[in-house]
């Protein structure tokens, strides 16, 4: 079948601002949008730039805005769209470098801020630290984050305030604060219990709607909010 | 631009990051990757990482060693296998201490599941010893690679490791058999950078992208392997390419062996569990090469589902709760890509190019060998899938790859700490980067006549057809000729977009050049090896031939083309036996 991709193109070496261009290709219903982008790149315009790697939703490279929703191009198929005119834009709220490639530097700087690594409570035993299945279950969803940026780039709070840490970094903070092996709750809460941290989340749920790993990010952030509210200084 | 670091690590998967964690405490380290580190393909590993922890049932290091030797079809070097398996438990505990969120047993220990070829000894009523599948693969649902990759990256953030993400490595800087750095280009602006270092370590991953049906990422174009080969380093055992039994039809996306470890069945069009005809004692949990051949035989003999090129992986008897807890990721894949729900419907699967047993030859400390005699290249190290030590021989067991990457990333890191302490910077040659700059100049100024996409399509589909699960001399000669022609065409390949910023077209062309470079080596090794061993199956030479072929292939790039030499397998305790399951 014929599918038209309407892609927001931007070449910093030539264009003053992004322009939309349409490309009609022949595709199978089961083709991924990523396959369609490849067809455009390989058959029409080799200069089309986008990130990709694993092509099945685990590496997090190819988050982009497809028909107005942030999603992974490799995780959505042609048959998932009724109209075969599909609009493709880079992730919103992040600076465009070229075509569908955005600058993720700020996104990862915010990740770094929350001390995104285990700070253990105690010295390790000779074997593994014990963790009950119930304790492990608390971080079950949070550890699935692939850092694709779809959530953070969908958040109106971030669009209006670029200093907001954003849902992905906050979820990472949750992942360690709720890990029974970690002992740095207070250190991390100090970092996120701020205006530009947790409290800029206004439970809009955009992040939950777009997360390709179906993580209920807002719920996790609400647990952190509770923890902050109940914290004793 | 010239950078100076004690150590340059290329590749940010499990091997590269584990080495970075080890070395960055003591040295000035740069990690260079064409992807952002957490995008590396180690993250796609699903089922587990093997170690005889004995958390779920009694297990022994010796059993794990024997399984790995037997799984390798006796091509693995037994000294290297023994070292790796002996270190496995402590390496897993160390990962856990770093924060890897393993799934847990009721007692709160690391959970373990069954995997193909991993067995325990069971003494039957008749006093005879048989081997049955054992719970050995440490896992985190079906996202084991993902959680280990992220944890190692987290440790690197903690240690302030310097990353150069989205830098694409072009070549090694070598002079007098001493490695002095690498040349890379920054995708962001197309600028060529020289990284001057005391040592270089490659953790650049595998080469499955030479095949059309593959579980591998776009990134797995074997860049490191091709770069080393061009620099005069031999490649070892390249003909051994693992085809994973269960790729999701038709794309070949990985469906973890853990699905069979949890009790999944393989069924043909008659609903028969056909593995009983091929591996009666371990059934679906035979090693990958055997299961793959069994599936391909069923398909070739007309017992695929609806006459098509797939069979079924049936998980419907496992129940929704188990799938949700243990196999959520593949349940999602099946829904997204095949439109089926594994709770109620079988998953259509076919063999898919998955893992590269061959690669850059190294000793057990990751130091790269310059020949089949074991002479070493100063300052050049490799670990993980790009390296061939060889611990996987002719066929890798599932969950031994993450183990290999982490064990050898760590051990190579430790060796590098020592090497860096004892070594000074060697001067850069005057012409460092000259060839790469000239190539860029050519690509940017000239207009080629050949289309990269058409070359790539032919290579990948013909490699799948003619150098795949079953091989024979006629097919191999044909594909060799095809690759020769494609290499000729590639000399005139066209770069249509001449921009400097994120020129991913140029990157893809260089990757294609790499695929062509080592595909020829795969084929030549396969053509020469007139036997069946592990993943290399010659239907025109249908037996393993220990008398002539119990040896590793070493392929050298020479002016007259590829020259093959051989080195005997290192055998310590396990004499080759017939391989039956």
Contacts of B60 (CB under 8 A, 6+ apart): B52, B54, B120
**B chain contacts of residue A108, beta-carbon cutoff 8 Å:** 36
HSE of B495, CA atoms in CB hemisphere, 13 A: 21
Measure the CA–CA gap between B220 and B218, rounded to whole angstroms.
Answer: 6
- What are the tens digits of pLDDT across the range A142-152? 999 999 999 99
Tokens encoding B330: 């593949």
Amino acid B232: pLDDT: 97
Name the residue in chain A with its Cα closest to that of B456: A42
| Contact assignment for A130 to B109 by CB distance below 8 Å | yes
HSE of B196, CA atoms in CB hemisphere, 13 A: 13
- What are the tens digits of pLDDT across the range B69-104? 999 999 999 999 999 999 999 999 999 999 999 999
Strand partners, B359: B236
- The beta strands (E) that lie in B249-385 are given as 253-254, 265-267, 311-314, 347-356, 360-361, 367-369, 376-382
Amino acid A93: pLDDT: 93
Tokens encoding B123: 């003494």
Judge residue B558's burial from the number of C-beta atoms within 10 Å of its C-beta, 0-12 exposed, 13-18 middle, 19 or more buried.
Answer: exposed
3-class secondary-structure state, position B505:
helix
Measure the CA–CA gap between B232 and B519, rounded to whole angstroms.
Answer: 17
Measure the CA–CA gap between B225 and B206, rounded to whole angstroms.
Answer: 8
Measure the CA–CA gap between B296 and A165, rounded to whole angstroms.
Answer: 51
Contacts of B90 (CB under 8 A, 6+ apart): none
Q: pLDDT tens, position by position, for chain A (233 residues)?
A: 999 999 999 999 999 999 999 999 999 999 999 999 999 999 999 999 999 999 999 999 999 999 999 999 999 999 999 999 999 999 999 999 999 999 999 999 999 999 999 999 999 999 999 999 999 999 999 999 999 999 999 999 999 999 999 999 999 999 999 999 999 999 999 999 999 999 999 999 999 999 999 999 999 999 999 999 998 77
Amino acid B580: pLDDT: 86
Measure the CA–CA gap between B518 and B130, rounded to whole angstroms.
Answer: 41
Q: Where are the alpha helices (DSSP H) in B275-327?
A: 288-300, 320-326
Interface size between A and B, measured as CB pairs under 8 A: 152
For chain B (581 residues), the mean pLDDT of every run of 10, in chain order, is 97 98 97 98 96 98 98 98 98 98 98 96 90 96 97 98 98 97 98 98 97 96 98 98 96 93 96 96 94 96 95 96 93 93 97 97 98 97 98 97 98 98 96 96 97 97 97 98 98 97 98 98 98 97 97 97 97 94 87
Measure the CA–CA gap between B23 and B29, rounded to whole angstroms.
Answer: 7
Inform me whether the C-beta atom of residue A105 falls under 8 Å from chain B C-beta atoms. no
| Residues B352 and B252: beta-carbon distance below 8 Å | yes
Measure the CA–CA gap between A66 and B96, rounded to whole angstroms.
Answer: 38
pTM: 0.97
Residues 21-80, chain A: which have Cβ within 8 Å of B?
30, 32, 41-43, 45-47, 49-61, 75-77
Contacts of A105 (CB under 8 A, 6+ apart): none
Q: What is the DSSP letter of A143?
A: G
Q: What is the ipTM of this complex?
A: 0.98
Amino acid B220: pLDDT: 97
Q: Which residue has the tokens 């993902």?
A: B146
Q: How far is B229 from chain A (nearest CA, A)?
A: 24
Residues 200-229, chain A: which have Cβ within 8 Å of B?
none
Measure the CA–CA gap between B195 and B182, rounded to whole angstroms.
Answer: 5
Tokens encoding B503: 């020129």
Amino acid A232: pLDDT: 76
3-class secondary-structure state, position B130:
strand
Q: Which residue has the tokens 């070496």?
A: A13
* Helix H or strand E encompassing A51: none
């Amino acid at each position: 079948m014929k599918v038209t991709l309407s892609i927001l193109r931007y070449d910093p070496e030539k264009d003053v601002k992004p322009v939309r261009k349409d490309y009609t290709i022949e595709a199978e219903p089961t083709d991924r949008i990523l396959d369609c982008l490849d067809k455009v790149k390989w058959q029409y315009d080799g200069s089309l730039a986008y990130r990709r790697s694993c092509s099945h939703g685990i590496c997090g490279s190819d988050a982009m805005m497809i028909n107005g929703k942030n999603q992974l191009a490799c995780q959505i198929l042609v048959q998932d769209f009724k109209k075969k005119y599909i609009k493709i834009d880079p992730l919103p709220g992040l600076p465009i470098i070229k075509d569908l490639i955005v600058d993720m530097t700020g996104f990862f700087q915010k990740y770094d801020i929350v001390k995104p690594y285990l700070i253990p409570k105690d010295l390790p035993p000779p074997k593994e630290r014990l963790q009950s299945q119930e304790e492990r279950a608390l971080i079950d969803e949070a550890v699935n984050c692939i850092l694709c940026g779809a959530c953070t780039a969908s958040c109106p709070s971030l669009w209006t305030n670029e200093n907001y840490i954003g849902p992905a970094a906050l979820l990472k903070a949750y992942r360690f604060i709720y890990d029974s092996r970690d002992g740095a709750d207070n250190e991390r809460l100090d970092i996120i219990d701020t205006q530009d941290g947790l409290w800029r989340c206004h439970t809009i749920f955009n992040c939950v709607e777009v997360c390709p790993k179906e993580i209920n990010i807002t719920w996790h952030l609400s647990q952190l909010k509770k923890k902050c509210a109940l914290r004793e200084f | 631009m010239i950078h100076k670091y004690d150590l340059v690590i290329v590749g940010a998967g499990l091997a590269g990051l584990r080495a970075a964690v080890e070395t960055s405490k003591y040295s000035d380290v740069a990690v260079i990757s064409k992807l952002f580190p957490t995008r590396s393909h180690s993250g796609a590993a699903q089922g587990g990482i093997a170690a005889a922890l004995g958390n779920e049932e009694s297990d022994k290091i010796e059993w794990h060693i024997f399984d790995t030797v037997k799984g390798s079809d006796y091509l693995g070097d037994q000294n290297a296998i023994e070292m790796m398996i002996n270190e496995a438990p402590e390496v897993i505990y160390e990962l856990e201490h770093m924060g890897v969120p393993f799934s847990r047993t009721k007692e709160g220990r690391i959970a373990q599941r069954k995997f193909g070829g991993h067995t325990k000894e069971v003494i039957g009523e008749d006093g005879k010893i048989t081997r049955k599948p054992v719970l050995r693969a440490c896992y985190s649902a079906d996202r084991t690679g993902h959680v280990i990759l992220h944890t190692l990256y987290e440790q690197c953030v903690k240690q302030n490791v310097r990353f150069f993400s989205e830098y694409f490595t072009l070549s090694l800087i070598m002079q007098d058999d001493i490695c002095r750095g690498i040349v890379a280009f920054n995708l962001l602006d197309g600028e060529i950078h020289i990284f001057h270092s005391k040592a270089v370590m490659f953790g650049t991953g595998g080469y499955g992208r030479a095949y059309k049906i593959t579980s591998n990422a776009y990134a797995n174009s074997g860049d490191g392997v091709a770069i080393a080969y061009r620099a005069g380093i031999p490649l070892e055992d390249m003909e051994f390419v693992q085809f994973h039994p269960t790729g999701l039809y038709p794309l070949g996306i990985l469906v973890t062996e853990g699905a069979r470890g949890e009790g999944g069945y393989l069924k043909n069009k008659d609903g028969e569990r056909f593995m009983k005809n091929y591996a009666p004692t371990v059934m679906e949990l035979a090693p990958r090469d055997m299961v793959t051949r069994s599936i391909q035989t069923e398909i070739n003999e007309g017992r695929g589902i609806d006459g098509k090129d797939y069979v079924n992986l049936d998980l419907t008897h496992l129940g929704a709760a188990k799938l949700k807890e243990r196999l959520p990721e593949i349940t999602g894949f099946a829904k997204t890509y095949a439109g089926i729900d594994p709770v109620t419907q079988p998953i259509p699967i076919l063999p898919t190019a998955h893992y590269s047993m061959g690669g850059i030859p190294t000793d057990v400390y990751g130091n790269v060998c310059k020949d089949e005699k074991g002479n070493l290249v100063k300052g050049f190290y490799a670990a993980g899938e790009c390296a061939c030590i060889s611990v996987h021989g002719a066929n890798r067991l599932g969950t031994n790859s993450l183990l290999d990457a982490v064990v050898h990333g760590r051990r190579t890191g430790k060796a590098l700490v020592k090497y860096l302490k004892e070594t000074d910077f060697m001067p850069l040659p005057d012409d460092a980067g000259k060839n790469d700059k000239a190539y860029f100049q050519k690509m940017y100024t000239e207009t080629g006549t050949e289309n990269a996409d058409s070359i790539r399509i032919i290579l990948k589909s013909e490699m799948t057809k003619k150098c795949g699960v079953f091989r024979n001399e006629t097919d191999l000669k044909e594909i060799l000729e095809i690759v020769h022609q494609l290499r000729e065409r590639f000399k005139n390949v066209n770069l249509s977009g001449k921009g400097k910023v994120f020129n991913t077209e140029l990157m893809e062309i260089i990757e294609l050049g790499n695929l062509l470079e080592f595909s020829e080596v795969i084929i030549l090794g396969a053509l020469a090896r007139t036997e069946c061993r592990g993943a290399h199956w010659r239907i025109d030479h249908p037996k393993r031939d220990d008398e002539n072929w119990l040896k590793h292939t070493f392929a050298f790039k020479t002016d007259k083309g590829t020259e093959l030499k051989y080195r005997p397998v290192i055998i310590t305790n396990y004499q080759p036996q017939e391989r039956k399951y």
